[in-house]
Amino acid sequence: MISSRKLIRKAATGALAMVMLSSMLVPITSAAESSTASLNVSASTLITPESVDPLYNRPVIDSETDLTTPVPHRKVSGHFEGTDKKFTFYFPAKNKFTGRFFQNVYPLQDENATDVNVNFGADSGAYTVQTNGGGGYRVDAAAAKFSRTVAAKYYGWSGRIYGYIYGGSGGSFQTIGSLEGTEGVWDGAVPYITGVPTSIPNNFFIRAFARFVLEKKAEQIADAMSPGGSGDPYAGLNDMEKAVLQEVTKLGVPLRAWEDYNYLLGLHDADGLLGFLTALCGIDPTYVEDFWNKPGYLGTEQSALGELFRSSKVDTASTVTQVTHDGQNVVKSLTLDRVPDVTTPMYWLDYTLLSADGTTTVGKLSGSFDPVTKVFTLGKGNAENVLSAIHTGSKLKIDNRWYLAALSYHRHQVPKALSFTAWDQFRAADGTPIYPQRAMEIGPLIGGSVSGGAAYSGNIHAKVIMVVNLLDMDAYPWNADWYSSRVKESLGNRYDDNFRVWYNDNADHISPARTRRLVQYDGLLQQALRDVSAWVEKGVAPARSTKYEVADGQVTVPEKATQRQGIQPVVDLTVGGAARIDIAAGQTATFTAKIQVPPGSGKIVRTEWDFAGTGDFKAWEFGVPRPTVNISMKFKYTKPGTYYPAIRITSQREGDVNTPFAQVQNLGRVRVVVH
C-alpha cells in the first residue's frame, strides 16, 4: 500500500542511492532568490501556514473529476505555475470525511496516488494529497497548504483540517526535512525505513565490500543465521573474512539478513550495488589515485586484505586490431590484440580510449567486453568525438581501479559527529580517525539535497511515529535509534509526548515482501498513521516505543510481546520444543506456536501455516479474534530434505477479520531436517 509497487521496483537494489542521485540534479532555491518578502521561504527558512513560497505560490487547478473507483471521490489535479511541479487531491465522499489528510512523499514518484492509498485514506476519514516532488519538501508543503483551501470549499468545512505526512527510504529524508523545516503545515508524521546523513553512498558500498570478500562464504553464513542454525556466522571463516564480516556487521548490516544473501550482496544487481559510483567519481575525483598510491588505503596496505585488492586489480591497455562498423558507418565493435585476466565481475570494468602511443586519454566508452572473442561491443551514449577517434592501432584501457577503490570508501568517510557510533571501529581512543579522511563527507551533502537541507537536529515540530524494519539492508535498523537520540536531545522532557519508534521484525526495505521469509509492513504503517492522528486530534497516546538494544551496529528486541511493546504481534514457534528437529522420512513433527499481541495493540485475526517452507500459506481457523493464541499442529514429512516451516500471524487493532487495512503481520520459522 504505502510503498508504491511501481516505485519500490525502482528501489530494489539501492532505493536511497538512486533517489539521492536523482535529487542531486534538482536545484535548491537559495535564500537570495526568496528575499522579496519577509514571509517568503527558502530551503533554510521555517515554513509556516502563513509563509509564501516564491516558487510554489501560484497553484492552478487543471481539472476536477468525480470518480467511482477505488472508492467514490473527487479527483482534483493541478500544477504550480512557472514550475514542472504537479499535485493531485483525492476527496472521498462528504459523509466519509472527518477532517484530515494523508500525504505520501517520495523523490521519484509522480503526482498520482495509488488506489490503495486513496482507499485507505477514505477508510480513515482522510483525503489524499500527492505531488511529483523531489529536492526537498517545499512543493509538498505548498500542496498541503493549498489542499486545505480546496478541501474546505468542497466539504463546506469550517473547522481545522489536520495533515499527516509519511515517506519511506528517500521519502524518509523528505519527511524528516519537513518535520524540522516546517511548523503547522503537518500535524504528525510517519517516517519509515529511515535513512540518515551517512547512508549514501556508504550503505551500498559497504555491502559491495562484503560481497567482494565474502561471496564464496555467503551460503555458510546464511545457514548459521537461518532458523535452527548454529548462530555463529564466523565459523569456518579465515581471519581476513572474519574481520570483514565484523566490520560490515558493526556498520549495521543485519546479521540475520544474510539468510537472503543474494539481495544483501547484490548478486542480481546490474551494478553490484555500486550504482552511485559515477557520482563519487565526480565529487571526489582524486580518490582513486590516493587509494592505489598513498598509505592508509587498502590499495597499499600490507595485509591479506590489501593483497586481495591488489591481486584483483585490472589495469591494462590493449591495441585495437580491427574496427567493425554498422550499416550507417557507425563504430559497432572493436577487436583487441589481448585480454586482461579478470577475476572481478565484468561490469566492474571501465573502458577508456587512448591514443595509439597510449599517452593521451581520448575519453570513456560504454559497452561490453567478451574476453573469449577479444571483442568490445559499444553500448549507447558514447560521445561523438570519442567514437570518431577510434581506429586500428588505438589503445583501449581496461581497468577496475575505481570499482575496487569504492568498496572501502566508508573507511575514509568517518563522520565528524561522534554520535555515529557505528564508525567507532575506525576511530582511535581519542576519537580521531585511524584512516586518512577525504576532504568532504559526501553523505550529508547528498542527503541534504533530498531532505531539503535538513540538519537532522531532531528539532521536530509535529508528533511522530517512526517505523523501522529489523532486516532492512538498505537503511540500517540503528538509524532510528540515532535519530531518536537527536530528538531526545532537542525536545528534552517533551520527547515522550511527541516521538515513538516502532521496530518491525521479519521485514526489510521492500514492499511487497520479496520472499516467503518476510512479511508485509504496510499494515503497520497504516496503523501508525491512524495512531498518530488520534494522538494529535484526541490526545490518545500511541503504544510505547519498541524496547530494543543497539550493540555493535545490531538492533535486538525482547522475545516476549509484553516486553517488546510497539504494536507488532510476536510468535514463538518451536518444533519438538526447539528451533530445529532432525527426523526420518515418514515421521510426524509437532509444532507449537505461542502468539501474543502487545497490550492494547489489537487482536490476532489470522494464522496461516506453511509446513513446506515454500511460501504457500494456508489459513487455519483458531476461533474468535483475541490477543493471545496458542496452537499445536502436526505434520508428516515424507521426503528427505531441509525444510523451513513457518506460521504467519496477523493482528488488527479492532479485531476486524474483514478489513484490508491496518493488518499487522509477523512470522515464526523453524528448521526441519528430514533424512
* pLDDT confidence of residue 78: 98
**Per-residue pLDDT, 359:** 87
Asked if 76 contacts 150 with a C-beta cutoff of 8 angstroms, the reply is yes
The 10s digit of each residue's pLDDT in 344-375 is 888 899 999 998 888 899 999 999 999 999 99
Bridge-partner residues for 375, per DSSP? 335, 370
Mean pLDDT of the chain, nearest integer: 92
For the cut 60, the answer to whether the pLDDT of residue 6 exceeds it is no
Reported as a single tens digit per residue, the pLDDT across 190-217 is: 999 999 999 999 999 999 999 999 999 9
Model pLDDT for residues 245-276, shown as the tens digit of each residue: 999 999 999 999 999 999 999 999 888 999 99
Nearest to 473 by CA among 506, 508, 507, 513: 508
DSSP, collapsed to helix, strand or coil, labels residue 386 as helix
CATH number of 5-198+448-538: 3.40.50.1820
32 pLDDT higher than 60? no
The C-alpha angle 41, 283, 388, rounded to 5 degrees, equals: 120
pLDDT band per the 50, 70, 90 thresholds, residue 44: low
User: Around Cβ 534, how many Cβ atoms within 10 Å?
Assistant: 14
pLDDT at 156: 97
Residue 432, phi then psi, degrees to nearest 5: -80, 150
SS3 of 587-632: the string is CEEEEEEEEECCCCCCEEEEEEEECCCCCCCEECCCCCCECEEEEE
The residues that bridge with 411 in the sheet, in sequence order, are: none
CA 44 to each of CA 23, 29, 178, 643: distance values in angstroms, whole numbers, following the listed order = 17, 9, 11, 55
- pLDDT of 454: 93
Q: What is the pLDDT of residues 455-509, one digit of tens each?
A: 999 999 999 999 999 999 999 999 999 999 999 999 999 999 999 999 999 999 9
In angstroms, the CA 238 to CA 378 distance is 41
Residue 297 has pLDDT above 70, yes or no: yes
Q: State how far the Cα of 324 lies from the Cα of 334, in Å rounded to an integer.
A: 6
Does 405 have pLDDT greater than 80?
Answer: yes
Q: Which residue has the higher pLDDT, 341 or 228?
A: 228
| Calpha distance 260→50 (Å, rounded) | 49
Answer whether 223's CB lies under 8 Å from 229's CB. yes
Architecture of the structural domain at 316-397 = Beta Barrel (2.40)
Across the range 636-657, mean pLDDT stands at: 97
Question: Bridge partners of 637?
Answer: none
Architecture of domain 563-674: Sandwich (2.60)
- Give the model confidence (pLDDT) of 117-126 as tens digits: 999 999 999 9
Mean pLDDT of 214-229: 98
Is residue 646 a contact partner of residue 613, using CB atoms and an 8 Å limit?
A: yes
Q: Does the pLDDT of residue 13 top 80, yes or no?
A: no
Q: Which residues pair with 130 in a beta bridge?
A: 88
pLDDT digit string (tens) for 83-115? 999 999 999 999 999 999 999 999 999 999 999
pLDDT range class, residue 2, cuts 50, 70, 90? very low
Whether the bond into 660 is cis, omega within 30 of 0: no
What confidence score (pLDDT) does residue 10 get?
41
- Per-residue model confidence (pLDDT) at position 12: 36
Identify the pLDDT of residue 186: 98
Using the predicted structure, report yes or no on whether residue 41 has a pLDDT greater than 60: no
Stretch 383-401: mean pLDDT: 94
φ, ψ (nearest 5 deg) of residue 323? -120, 125
> Half-sphere exposure (CA, 13 Å, Cβ side) for 119?
13
CA distance 452 to 472: 24
Percentage of residues of the chain with pLDDT beyond 90: 89
- The DSSP 8-state label assigned to residue 316 in this structure reads E
- 69 in Cβ contact with 93 (< 8 Å): no
User: Do 88 and 67 meet the contact criterion of CB atoms below 8 Å apart?
Assistant: no
- Over range 307-328, report the average pLDDT: 95
Domain spans of the chain, in order of start: 5-198+448-538, 202-304+407-442, 316-397, 563-674
Per residue in 125-149, pLDDT tens? 999 999 998 889 999 999 999 999 9
Enter the DSSP assignment of 547: P
- Report the pLDDT value the prediction gives residue 134, as an integer from 0 to 100: 84
- Model confidence at 22: pLDDT above 60: no
